[in-house]
Amino acid sequence: MFKLRRFLKEYKLQLIVGPACKLLEAILELCVPLVMAGIIDVGIANKDSGYIYFMGCILVILGVVGLSSALVCQYMASYTSQGAGTKIRRALFSHINSLSHKELDEIGTPSLITRMTSDINAVQANIAMIMRLLLRAPFLIIGALVMASLINLRLSLIFFVASLLIGIVLYLVMTKSLPYYKKIQSLLDKISLLARENLTGNRVVRAFAKQKSQEESFDKEGEQLSKTLINVSRLSALLNPATYVITYGAIVLILWFGGQAVQDGSLMSGDIIALTSYMTQILLAMIVLANLVVLLSKGSASAARINNIFEIKPSVTEKTKAVIKTDASAPKVQFNNVSFSYGDGDNELENISFSIDKNSFTGIIGTTGSGKSTLLSLILRYYDVTKGQIMVDGVDVKDYSFSQLRGEIGVVPQKAVLFSGTIRSNMLWQKEDATDEEIWQALETAQAQDFVKELPKGLDSYVAQGGTNFSGGQRQRLCIARAIVGNPHTVILDDSFSALDFATEKALREALFKKDNTTFIIVTQRCSTIMKADKIIVLEDGVVAGTGTHKELLKSCETYKEICLSQLKQREAEL
């Protein structure tokens, strides 16, 4: 929690006023038993109704001021905790967006979602409870001990012993429960993963009739979480009985020895009432402190998980934010002896060298797992190369700012991803100020104009999360249109025709390649898609198996020939 204090800098006033008000409430609460003792020992003993009424008014004033102070503290605590929580959430979201794909792959989406939601909620609750109770509870305990000592030093020893025993119970519960709370958050990550996979892949689960096995997997993780929660609940459940036993035992001793002191005249009846009230205050404060310890244990585990993300540094960073000058005469993309590994020891790509000319059409093909999508990720600098150099317009990709490198490249990912909103809002991702005319032009090129026009609201038609209210082919065409809005200089398509029929694909290709001053890089499994490419790069097991035109590769590259003949007849392949 201490490491997150930087998010509280703007709430210094609230952090002072809130606890101060709570401290005032505690002071007034400590005065109440003394007033009650005065009413009993003076007002009732002397039958002085005026004194009783006066002290009664004092009690009302103490109650009203105490309540007002508590309300002010509650407001300050809520304002501070919600504000700091919002800042933490924004900072964490921003930091996650700064991480490279390598770190995101290692952490996992479900874990990040849990930290963005339940972990930050736990920290928010901690901040509020710390402001409201962390100062008040110890002050009440210490204050009650002091007041008891002033009333009768011998009887106050009972208070000290009881407080010590309760403190030992609190310490034992806290040290035993903290590891459980860390485990609980990890189990929540696993449950979040299972839930996310089953919700996003529910069609696959039903297609294979795997609902029962998935339910069993979910139940297994849920059972483990349940057992852990039961274990920590058992520990927490010990707090109240243990503290009550100790406290009421102390009260019995106070009444026993206090009664004897009243009989011999060394103590007054009102003092016994005051001592009992102080013991009750200590009990209530200890119970609050016990619950606060449990909450702090959970919150510290959540705060540690949040800090773990903040401590992760992105492996891919920008050297500059400025726009740098490029070489107009250089190839659009150039790989120089590039090797890449995801960190598992084996290279995904090995000594890759090729160049792509400006305003050309380049196809990349290869067997499954040959590294085609990885190669595109390196151009966009989602990952940094292990060895070698990648140049774009004559400049090393590491020298670009992310906005300049990726801003001029239209990307269509392998998985068609649309965001909830409208068609228009999705089309504005590539160019934020694109006009409707530019959007319709992109939709026409992507062969999506017809079905969008048929929608009742056209560009303002609703897009569900993930674009699930459109077919796979429609999603791919919308993603292609999104990438070419604003006519970027380079368009990268990662197997983006897989859901299209051959007629639509042919029309789309012809429309795309009519665009001037645009470099197209297409990864595909279909030979027919890249037969007319200016250059075809063939990958096999992470190395370049061949480079050239379709006709050249049919003669010189056995891998390419096998791929073509597995899809086309010999006569079709040689056309």
Q: Classify 360 as helix, strand or coil.
A: coil
Please say whether the beta carbons of 6 and 88 come within 8 A.
no
Q: Are strands 387-392 and 333-341 parallel, antiparallel or unpaired?
A: antiparallel
**Is 402 inside any structural domain?**
no
Choose among 471, 468, 460, 526: nearest CA to 497.
Answer: 526
How far is Cα 511 from Cα 505, in angstroms, rounded to an integer? 10
467 within a domain of the structure (yes/no)? no
Residue 361 lies in a domain: no
For 313-332, give the DSSP string.
Answer: PPSS--S-SSPPP--TTS-S
Kindly report the CATH number assigned to the domain that includes residue 12.
Answer: 1.20.1560.10
In degrees and rounded to multiples of 5, residue 520 shows phi and psi of -110, 130
> Is residue 182 within 8 Å of 301, Cβ to Cβ?
yes
Q: Which residues contact 478 (CB under 8 A, 6 or more apart)?
A: 416, 418, 423, 426, 427, 443, 446, 448, 467, 470
pLDDT mean across residues, the chain: 85
Tell me the C-alpha to C-alpha distance, in Å, between residue 192 and each of 114, 118, 361, 478, 543: 7, 11, 43, 30, 38
The pLDDT score that the predictor gives to residue 573 is 61
CB atoms within 10 A of CB 178: 19
Does an H or E element contain 573, and which?
helix 570-573
The answer as to whether 317 is a domain residue is no
The SS3 assignment for 413 reads coil
**Parallel, antiparallel, or unpaired: how do β-strands 347-356 and 333-341 relate?**
antiparallel
* Predicted pLDDT at 84: 92
Please tell me the distance from the alpha carbon of residue 116 to that of residue 90, in angstroms, as a whole number: 9
| Neighbouring C-beta atoms of residue 332, cutoff 10 Å | 20
Handedness of CA 48, 50, 51, 53 (dihedral sign): positive
Range of the domain at 16: 2-311
Low-confidence ranges of the chain (pLDDT < 70): 1, 570-575
Contacts of 560 (CB under 8 A, 6+ apart): 365, 536, 538, 545, 546, 553, 554
pLDDT score, position 64: 93
What is the b/e burial string over 354-393, where b = at least 16 CB atoms within 10 angstroms of the residue's CB? bbbebebbbbbbbbeebbbebbbbbbbbebebbebebbbb
Q: What are phi and psi of 548, to 5 degrees?
A: 160, -170
Specify the 3-state DSSP secondary structure of 407: helix
Q: Is residue 97 part of a domain?
A: yes
Tell me, what amino acid is at 465? Q
CB 159 within 8 A of CB 277: no
Length of the chain: 575
For residue range 447-483, what is the model confidence (pLDDT) as tens digits? 999 899 999 899 999 998 888 888 888 999 999 999 9
Place of tokens 């924004």: 90
Output the 3-class SS for 420-433.
CEEHHHHHCCCCCC
**Nearest one of 380, 415, 392 to 494, comparing CA atoms:** 415
Residues 154-192: tens digit of each pLDDT: 777 887 888 788 778 877 877 777 777 777 877 877 887
**What is the model's pLDDT at position 495?**
84
Which whole-number Å values give the CA distances from 400 to 95, 180, 359, 377, in the listed order? 20, 46, 21, 15
In a domain, 510, yes or no: no
SS3 58: helix
Residue 448 lies in a domain: no
Structure tokens at 408: 């001029």
Q: Taking the CA of residue 550 as centre, how many other CA atoms within 13 Å lie in the half-sphere pointing to its CB?
A: 18
Residue-level pLDDT at 196: 76
Q: How many domains, the chain?
A: 1
Question: 325 lies in a domain?
Answer: no
Query: CA 421, CA 405: separation in Å to the nearest integer?
Result: 27
Helices and strands, counts by H and E, the chain: 22, 12
d(CA 20, CA 136): 9
C-alpha torsion sign, points 374, 379, 384, 389: positive
pLDDT score recorded for residue 529:
84
